[in-house]
A and B are shown apart, each in its own frame.
Chain A
Amino acid sequence: MIVEGVGGVAYGEVVEIVTPNGETKRGQVLDAYEDRAIIQVYEGTGGIDTSRTRVRFTGETVKFGVGVELIGRVFSGKGMPIDGGPRPIFEDKWDVYGAPINPSAREYPSEFIQTGISSIDGMNTLVRGQKLPIFSGAGMPHNELAAQIARQAKVLGEEEKFAAIFCGMGITHEEAAFFMHDFERTGALERTTLFLNLANDPAIERILTPRLALTTAEYLAFVQGMNVLVILTDMTNYCEALREISAARSEVPGRRGYPGYLYTDLATVYERAGRIRGKKGSITQMPILTMPGDDITHPIPDLTGYITEGQLVMDRELHRKGIYPPLNVLPSLSRLMKDGIGAGHTREDHSDVSNQLYAAYAEGKDLRSLVAVVGEEALTERDRRYLNFADRFEREFANQSRDEDRSIETTLDLGWELLRALPEAELKRVDPKFIAKYLRQKE
């Protein structure tokens, strides 16, 4: 919507629109030049005419009322309660765009979160204050995995205030219902706040939704001292919305029509994870995105990977083999793992074991492609052991049931169990003293 004859309007300013039949709509200024302003209307432009509609510029950017009462509630993508309850009483009004955290005020994340999933805990450890996305594809069980993580995630040896925030962007009603039911079933709903922007809601609202969720998270973490897990799904829909709005502003498009500032914009979302020195709480982010055409080089997963501290990649081949969770550990990575594991966090041998598992699994997978060409007979004994290792790794280590909560010790012992099948001299990534302690003791 374009309004003429205005002056002094600001980017991102909130606008109230009253239509001829008395309905109030809200919108946001997208662009302003000379005496005109382009406004994107949240609720759609139906019912707006050119002669009798009134527009009021509020003079402020989007603010959201935050408070502890938000926990256990369900909101729409623009922050209205949709669970039938009253509007929550808020303690403060915060700007949804937040402010960047000064790196020197940050505390380096190093507390291990046990998710109970071997391929995450053992190979790509999640720590408190990390942002670790799940790269998935259409039709893969990323929602199940996210729900399982939200259910099982805990820091060992601590009972602390924990809250989960779920932010759905452009998701279907069924997906939203899946999470609602799952949270209800497990009793997690009372410590969860949901923000649901459904697939048929306007695109501009989708830009707002994660910011509302993160503002709430920041309040709970840094004012209330809670440890907050934020699940953002689906970031691909968010980026599509961004592209739509960029096109509306007639900006010069970057790769694949996405705006050139996609990286910066995504960073303003993802970088709102972390811990602040002297504050008790933390924000851990787990964004989910579906890679268009399973293509990891597509701008959305690509730029996400450059900002987040690692990624968990789902693999269609594993999914077809019936392995759950179908996480392919080779392209997956957790950058903060090195400081969250080892003696005092998990177990002293963790780093060596996971390195060795990585190397051995990579070798086994290489051999698989070789077998496809030359057949298994052509392999040496050593190679056959590796091949077998790769199969067992997928079936026994990566594979687990949807409500199986493995402790980190179980995961590491399972890792040793698999490594035992390889010749001891091949275990080059493991310190000899751990071989003596963990490998030989069982014999």
Chain B
Amino acid sequence: MQTWPVRRGRPYKEKLDPLEPLISGQRVIDTFFPIAKGGTAAIPGGFGTGKTVMLHQFAKWAEADIIVYVGCGERGNEMCDVLSHFPKLKDPRTGESLMERTVLIANTSNMPVAAREASVYTGITIAEYFRDMGYDVALMADSTSRWAEAMREISGRLEEMPGEEGFPAYLASRLAEFYERAGRVRTLGGNGRVGSVTVLGAVSPPGGDLSEPVTQNTLRIVKVFWALDTALADRRHFPAIHWLTSYSLYVDSMKDWWKQKIGEDWKSLRDEAITMLQKEAELEEIVKLVGPDALPESERAVLEAARIMREDFLHQFAFHEVDTYCPVEKQMGMFKIVLEFYRNCVEAAKRGIAVSEVRKLPIKDAIAGMKRLSPEKFQREYKSLQTQLKRQFAELMQSRKALPGGVEGGR
């Protein structure tokens, strides 16, 4: 047995650049806002936006060898959920029970505060220990806000001079120290093993207000920001990661991996999709003021395609047996089909075809059904989906060639 002081990071030979993504099987993460092995991410969001479900999904499906889950000041039943469900789930890569690779550290909200302050350090030390064996480790801290509050409580009892909102002045440096213990490293061991610790921290800002000190100090350190949005959660769009406010600074370093692994120019596709969603947000503003009828057909086409992107790609149902985990190959296939639909949609609008006509195409239902197909079935049907899409649009455009200028369909 080894013992190690938890507040001190374990040594390593050198830190390497994060180059590989940590695949999570969640479309919005892998395709839009990827996290690197050895990277850091923050998930802030008010209550009910799905922080814990997100972290659980990550713990279940992330392509890591070891998962360390720190339940820091959260609900007892959530830990119980993990304990009762994980042993039943199979790791998609090894076929072993998921519990076999999971370490849980439980300090529920009714447990002592001093232990809560230490629990996060205990977690990262365990993660580093496995990293030194050459494993890829992912650590989830749910939630770092409770940890910061524990620091505040202890600091208050010690009668230290409080900083912002009563938090101790050393809050920022403690948070930075913690997140800096993540990384992909060459270990001290003989044969130059490479291991990594990826840190994902949930943040629970009071009142969902992201300007509070814990969120702000965390955002200065982490490279990936998944912003959970209450409005999306209210309409049950899960994962409620907002596609415009979130960001990932690993996009550029990940693009070579996608090229090698999938052979696609992922980055340009991703940029195209983000531009489309950005455009949708702008158009929505106009619609709010003047109503959808005031928009020209070409812009309505953007709205329609963006809706498909949101509902059929970004939306992912965590409790559906197939949709809960989506391998990268399937993600890429779905992504390309949705984008293809968008291009055709815009093209059709240019030729004067009303969006209402596009809406009637049977391919729309096929796209909506993609999520529920198992990955193997999807691979088989991918080609036929593509040809169907092409054919249906071609037919539509053919039929309307005779009527330039477009007909305002019975919307």
Residues of A within 8 A of B (CB): 100-104, 106-109, 129-130, 251-255, 260-261, 263-264, 267-268, 270-272, 274, 296-299, 302-303, 305-307, 309-311, 330-331, 333, 335-336, 338-339, 351, 355, 358-359, 362-363, 369-370, 373-374, 378-383, 425, 428-429, 431-432
**Which residues on B sit within 8 Å (CB–CB) of A255?**
165, 206
Q: Which residues of B10-51 are within 8 A (CB) of A?
A: 46-48
Chain B 177-221 interface residues, beta-carbon cutoff 8 Å to A: 204, 206-209
Find out whether the CB atom of A302 lies under 8 angstroms from the CB atom of B47: yes
Instruction: Tell me which of A268, A310, A373 contacts B48 (CB under 8 A).
Output: A310
The segment out of B69-77, B124-132, B382-390, B397-405 that lies at the interface is B69-77
A336 contact from B77, B110, B208, B368, Cβ within 8 A: B77
**Chain A residue at minimum C-beta to C-beta distance from B360:** A425
Task: Check B262 for interface membership: any CB of A closer than 8 A.
Answer: no
Assembled-state Cα–Cα distance A362/B73 (Å): 32
Find chain A residues with CB under 8 A from B47 CB. 302, 305-306, 311
List chain A residues, Cβ under 8 A from B73: 263-264, 267
Q: Is the CB of A263 within 8 A of B149?
A: yes
Nearest A residue to B49 by beta-carbon distance?
A: A333
The answer to whether A260 touches B80 (Cβ under 8 A) is no
Q: Roughly how many angstroms separate A374 CA and B288 CA in the complex, as a whole number? A: 8
- Among B89-97, B242-250, B290-298, B328-336, the stretch in contact with A: B290-298
B271 at the interface (CB under 8 A from A): no
Sample of 6 A–B contacts (CB below 8 Å):
A101-B76, A252-B162, A264-B149, A307-B75, A333-B48, A432-B369
Q: Which of chain B's residues has its CB closest to A105's CB? A: B80
Q: A274-B76, A305-B47, A370-B288 in contact; A338/B153 too (CB < 8 A)? A: no
* A332 to chain B: closest residue by CB: B48
Measured between alpha carbons, how far is A380 from B75 in the docked complex, in Å?
45
Q: A254 touching B372 by the CB < 8 A rule? A: no
Give A432 to B319 CA distance when docked, in angstroms. 17
The chain B residue with its CB closest to the CB of A254 is: B166
Judge whether A370 and B291 touch: CB under 8 Å. Answer: yes
How close is A274's CB to chain B, nearest CB, in angstroms?
6
**Is the Cβ of B109 less than 8 Å from the Cβ of A267?**
yes
Query: Residue of A at shortest CB range from B85?
Result: A108
Interface residues of B in 266-291 (CB under 8 A from A): 287-291
Q: How far is the CA of A432 from the CA of B288 in the complex (A)?
A: 33
Closest A residue to B369 using CB positions: A432
Contact B311 A103 (CB under 8 A): no
Q: Quick one: which of B71, B79, B110, B312 contacts A272, CB cutoff 8 A?
A: B110
B109 near A271 (CB under 8 angstroms)?
A: yes
B235 and A297 within 8 A (CB): no
Select one of B79, B209, B289, B369 contacting A103, CB under 8 A.
B79
Beyond A254-B166, A373-B289, is A363–B235 a contact (Cβ under 8 Å)?
yes
| Assembled-state Cα–Cα distance A104/B365 (Å) | 44
User: How distant is the Cα of A104 from the Cα of B99 in the complex, in angstroms?
Assistant: 13
B357-375 residues at the A interface, CB under 8 angstroms: 364-365, 368-369, 372
A129 to B206, CA, bound (A): 26
Given A271-B108, A309-B77, verify A381-B411 contact (CB < 8 Å). yes
Q: How far is the CB of A383 from the nearest CB of chain B, in Å?
A: 8
Q: B80's contact among A103, A252, A270, A363, by CB below 8 Å, is which?
A: A103
Alpha-carbon distance between A230 and B75 when the two chains are bound, in angstroms: 18
Per CB-CB distance, the 8 closest pairs between chain A and chain B, nearest first, are A297-B207, A267-B109, A362-B235, A103-B79, A374-B291, A305-B47, A271-B110, A378-B291
For the complex, what is the distance from the CA of A380 to the CA of B289, rounded to whole Å?
16
The contact of B76 among A106, A311, A378, A381, by CB within 8 Å, is A106
Closest to B235 in A: A362
The answer on a CB contact under 8 Å between B110 and A428 is no
Which residues of B sit under 8 angstroms from A432, Cβ to Cβ? 369
Interface of chain B, main secondary structure = helix
Smallest distance from the beta carbon of B207 to chain A beta carbons, Å? 3
| Chain A minimum-CB-distance residue to B410 | A381
Q: Is the CB of A103 within 8 A of B204?
A: no
In the complex, the chain A residue whose C-beta lies closest to that of B205 is A302
Evaluate whether A358 and B236 lie within 8 angstroms (CB atoms) in the complex, with A103-B76, A306-B204 already known. yes
Task: Verify B156–A260 contact, CB threshold 8 A.
Answer: yes
For the complex, give the distance between the alpha carbons of A311 and B47 in Å. Answer: 10
A363: chain B residues at CB < 8 Å are 235
- Of B77, B290, B372, the residue contacting A274 (CB under 8 A) is B77
Least CB distance from B359 to A in Å reads: 8
Q: Which of B221-239 contact A (CB under 8 A)?
A: 230, 234-237
- Tell me the bound Cα distance from A363 to B235 in angstroms: 8
Q: Is the CB of B411 within 8 A of A254?
A: no
One digit per residue, 1 when the CB lies within 8 angstroms of any chain A CB and 0 when it does not, for chain B 101-140 equals 0000010111101000000000000000000000000000
Tell me the bound Cα distance from A369 to B288 in angstroms: 8
Q: Provide the residues of chain B in CB contact with A106, threshold 8 Å.
A: 76-77, 79-80, 83
* Residues of chain A contacted by B146 (CB below 8 angstroms): 263
- Do B109 and A351 have beta carbons less than 8 Å apart? no
Cα distance A107–B146 in the bound complex, in angstroms: 24
- The interface bits of chain B over 146-167 (1 if a CB of A lies within 8 angstroms of the residue's CB, else 0) are 1001001100100000100110
CB distance from A260 to the nearest CB of B (A): 5
> How many angstroms from the CA of A363 to the CA of B237 in the assembled complex?
12
A253 and B166 contacting across the interface, CB-CB below 8 Å: yes
Are B153 and A108 in contact (CB-based, < 8 A)?
no
Quick one: closest A residue to B287, CB to CB? A370
Say yes or no: A103 contacts B207, CB within 8 Å: no
Partner of B372, one of A362, A381, A425, A431: A431
The smallest beta-carbon distance between A87 and chain B, in angstroms, is 30
Q: Taking the complex as formed, is B392 at the interface, i.e. its CB lies under 8 A from any CB of chain A?
A: no
Tell me, yes or no, whether B395 is within 8 Å of chain A by CB: no
Residues of A within 8 A of B312 (CB): 428
For A101, the chain B residues whose CB sits under 8 A away are 76
For A378, what are the chain B residues with a Cβ–Cβ distance below 8 Å? 291-293
Given the known inter-chain contacts A107-B80, A255-B165, please indicate yes or no for A309 contacting B152, CB distance below 8 A.
no
Q: Name the B residues within 8 Å of A264 (CB-CB).
A: 73, 109-110, 113, 149, 153
Please report the C-alpha to C-alpha distance between residue A362 and residue B236 in the assembled complex, in whole angstroms.
9
**Most-contacted residue by chain A among B230, B291, B319 (CB, 10 A):** B291
CA gap between A373 and B312 in the complex, in Å? 30
Say yes or no: is B84 at the interface (Cβ < 8 Å to chain A): yes
Question: What residues on A are CB-neighbors of B291 within 8 Å?
Answer: 370, 373-374, 378-379
- Across the interface, which residues of B come within 8 angstroms of A299, CB to CB? 206-207
Complex: how many Å from CA A252 to CA B208? 23
List B contacts of A103 (CB < 8 A).
71, 76-77, 79-80, 83, 106, 108
**Cβ–Cβ contact B109 & A129, under 8 A:** no
Complex formed: what's the CA distance from A357 to B230 in Å?
18
Which B residues lie within 8 Å of A338 (CB)?
319
**A264-B149, A274-B77, A355-B236 given; 20 more Cβ-contact pairs under 8 Å:** A103-B76, A103-B77, A103-B80, A107-B84, A260-B153, A263-B109, A263-B146, A264-B113, A264-B153, A271-B76, A302-B206, A309-B77, A338-B319, A339-B81, A363-B235, A370-B288, A373-B291, A378-B292, A381-B411, A425-B365
